[in-house]
């Protein structure tokens, strides 16, 4: 038999932080989760799979209106007409207590309740599917411990939304260990919650398919579900099924060899050009550029992330790359260490460096600087309020990061001027 295992679809996940970008492809980003899920259903029908498993976080929370539910019901209807059953449970984002709106689902959808673990039997496929939905989002009990023993003579699948051990980056919901799952006696565990693809072999095949569609820069790279094939001897083959319609990418650009702002712009544009050749010509990209390296241009770049993004964006648009959106440019450069050491006024610059370091521990100076900077923040245009990274630090009286940035930039400016 063959089946599709998907999780963490987050249908109609809300967009945040994009209002500051007039050039953001908002519509494409807003519809990406639906488009990816539609592609998944297309594959299920075209490949005539035996069933589909959705291991939690189908939704991203309570619906804004019924349109999200209507869309999902329509897709389940397509699978129903193709005689494809669906085994569905809810995770922390669509826990029973989270959802105030509901719609009746077609008869092919088998929904796991939240009261206790349940089992659905498919005699035709000699299949038993076990699972339990979340009742509340912050479910920290070990749900796997309550799952029933395997049904003898059947292929047993456990569907579970869990952080699993070792996934510190994810909230510790329904925690359990890999060894515990392997010892349960099931042949396959269809997991959800962790957004990166992972698979383990042993007495059971344990799989996180990852989320279906990347939604922000923290979810870079290819995304999708898995196609699982089980032969007559019970051997399991797992193949990634990539259905994402827009891909997020982090591009690191070393500008150590650049000596000016203009050269940095050209270096980033060249890196973007090279990136585009690596991807399918039909795959839209949302890219964050991380600019790093010890460069003489460090001082000239200080505080110009917005201007740098605009320049690079202009370069890519001039080349006709309409499938690429530059989400953000982040500066992480530093001044070359040798720039002051070889300077005629090295001693004076060294003294300045000491003064800058001492400033971070001078409460009187910091209070005076805070007062002066708050006046500037208050007068800044609204367009700058959310785009200047130090404004939040200034409001919170945390000036160390700003001083860490200003020090090298000031040193680089003086060295360049001399």
Buried-exposed string 210-242: b where 16+ CB fall within 10 A, e elsewhere: bbbbbbbbebbeebbbbbbebeeeeebebeebb
Q: What's the pLDDT at 341?
A: 46
Q: Which residues pair with 334 in a beta bridge?
A: 294
Q: Has domain 2-242 been given CATH number 3.60.21.10?
A: yes
* DSSP state letter for 10: -
Q: What's the pLDDT at 244?
A: 94
Buried-exposed string 132-165: b where 16+ CB fall within 10 A, e elsewhere: bbbeebebeeebbeebeebbeebbbbbbbbbbbe
- Compute the distance between CA of residue 29 and CA of residue 214 in angstroms, rounded to an integer: 10
Rg of the chain in Å (alpha carbons) = 27
pTM value surpassing 0.75: yes
Name the residue among 222, 156, 184 with its Cα closest to residue 176. Answer: 184
Name the residue among 218, 226, 221, 243 with its Cα closest to residue 40. Answer: 243
- Compute the distance between CA of residue 399 and CA of residue 410 in angstroms, rounded to an integer: 16
Name the residue among 243, 237, 242, 230 with its Cα closest to residue 2. Answer: 230
Q: For the chain, give the longest Cα–Cα distance.
A: 86
Buried-exposed string 279-292: b where 16+ CB fall within 10 A, e elsewhere: eeeeebbbbbbebe
- Compute the distance between CA of residue 80 and CA of residue 45 in angstroms, rounded to an integer: 10
Name the residue among 126, 189, 118 with its Cα closest to residue 152. Answer: 126
Tell me the backbone φ, ψ of residue 144, rounded to 5 degrees: -60, -30
Structure-token pair, residue 364: 């009187």
Q: What's the pLDDT at 390?
A: 67
- Compute the distance between CA of residue 342 and CA of residue 288 in angstroms, rounded to an integer: 35
Mapping DSSP to helix (H, G, I), strand (E, B) and coil, where does residue 134 land? coil
pLDDT tens, position by position, for the chain (418 residues)?
999 999 999 998 876 666 556 677 878 888 899 999 999 999 999 999 999 999 999 998 888 889 999 999 999 999 999 999 999 999 998 888 888 888 899 999 999 999 999 999 999 999 999 999 999 888 888 999 999 999 999 999 999 999 988 665 556 888 889 999 999 999 999 999 999 999 999 999 999 999 999 998 899 999 999 999 999 988 999 999 999 999 999 999 999 999 999 999 999 989 988 888 887 777 888 899 999 999 999 888 887 888 898 898 888 787 666 778 888 889 989 888 754 444 445 555 556 666 666 666 778 777 787 787 777 777 776 655 555 666 777 787 777 777 766 666 665 556 555 5
Name the residue among 234, 176, 232, 233 with its Cα closest to residue 205. Answer: 234
Task: Find all residues with CB under 8 Å of 233, minimum gap 6, and list them.
Answer: none
Task: Find all residues with CB under 8 Å of 188, minimum gap 6, and list them.
Answer: 155, 156, 157, 158, 204, 205, 206, 207, 228, 230, 236
DSSP string, 385-413: HTT-TTHHHHHTT--HHHHHHHHHHHHHH
Tokens 């992972």 sit at which residue?
198
Q: What's the pLDDT at 41?
A: 98
Phi-psi category of residue 282: left, alpha or beta, with phi > 0 → left and psi -120 to 50 → alpha:
alpha
Name the residue among 143, 253, 146 with its Cα closest to residue 192. Answer: 143
Tell me the backbone φ, ψ of residue 309, rounded to 5 degrees: -60, -45
First to last CA, the chain: 74
Percent of the chain that is helix, strand, coil (3-state, to 5): 35, 20, 45
């Amino acid at each position: 038999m063959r089946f599709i295992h998907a999780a963490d679809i987050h249908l109609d996940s809300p967009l945040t932080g994009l209002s500051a970008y007039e050039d953001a492809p908002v519509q494409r980003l807003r519809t990406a989760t639906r488009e990816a899920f539609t592609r998944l259903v297309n594959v299920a029908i075209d490949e005539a799979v035996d069933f589909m498993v959705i291991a939690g976080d189908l939704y991203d929370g309570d619906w804004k209106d019924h349109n999200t539910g209507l869309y999902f019901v329509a897709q389940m209807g397509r699978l129903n007409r193709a005689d494809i059953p669906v085994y569905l449970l809810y995770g922390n984002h669509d826990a029973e207590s989270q959802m105030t709106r509901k719609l009746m689902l077609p008869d092919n959808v088998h929904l796991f309740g939240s009261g206790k673990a349940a089992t659905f039997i498919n005699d035709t496929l000699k299949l038993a599917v076990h699972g339990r939905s979340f009742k509340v989002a912050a479910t920290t009990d070990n749900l796997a411990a309550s799952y029933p023993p395997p049904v003898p003579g059947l292929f047993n699948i456990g569907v579970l939304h869990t952080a699993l051990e070792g996934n510190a980056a994810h909230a510790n919901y329904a925690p359990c260990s890999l060894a515990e799952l392997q010892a349960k006696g099931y042949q396959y565990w269809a997991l959800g919650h962790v957004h990166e693809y992972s698979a383990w072999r042993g007495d059971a095949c344990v799989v996180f398919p990852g989320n279906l569609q990347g939604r922000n820069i923290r979810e870079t790279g290819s995304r999708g579900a898995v196609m699982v094939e089980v032969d007559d001897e019970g051997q399991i083959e797992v193949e990634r099924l990539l259905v994402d319609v827009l891909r997020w990418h982090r591009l690191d650009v070393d500008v150590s060899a650049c000596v000016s702002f203009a050269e940095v712009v050209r270096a980033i544009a060249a890196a973007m050009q090279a990136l585009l050749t690596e991807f399918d010509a039909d795959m839209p990209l949302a890219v964050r550029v991380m600019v790093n390296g010890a460069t003489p241009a460090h001082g000239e770049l200080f505080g110009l992330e917005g201007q740098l993004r605009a320049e690079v964006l202009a370069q890519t648009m001039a080349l006709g790359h309409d499938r690429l959106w530059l989400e953000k440019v982040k500066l992480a450069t530093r001044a070359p260490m040798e720039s002051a050491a070889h300077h005629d006024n090295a001693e004076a610059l060294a003294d300045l460096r000491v003064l800058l370091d001492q400033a971070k521990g001078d409460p009187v100076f910091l209070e005076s600087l805070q007062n002066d900077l708050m006046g500037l923040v208050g007068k800044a245009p609204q367009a700058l309020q959310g785009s200047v990274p130090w404004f939040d630090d200034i409001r919170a009286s945390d000036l160390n990061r700003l001083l860490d940035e200003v020090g090298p930039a000031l040193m680089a400016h003086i060295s360049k001027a001399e």
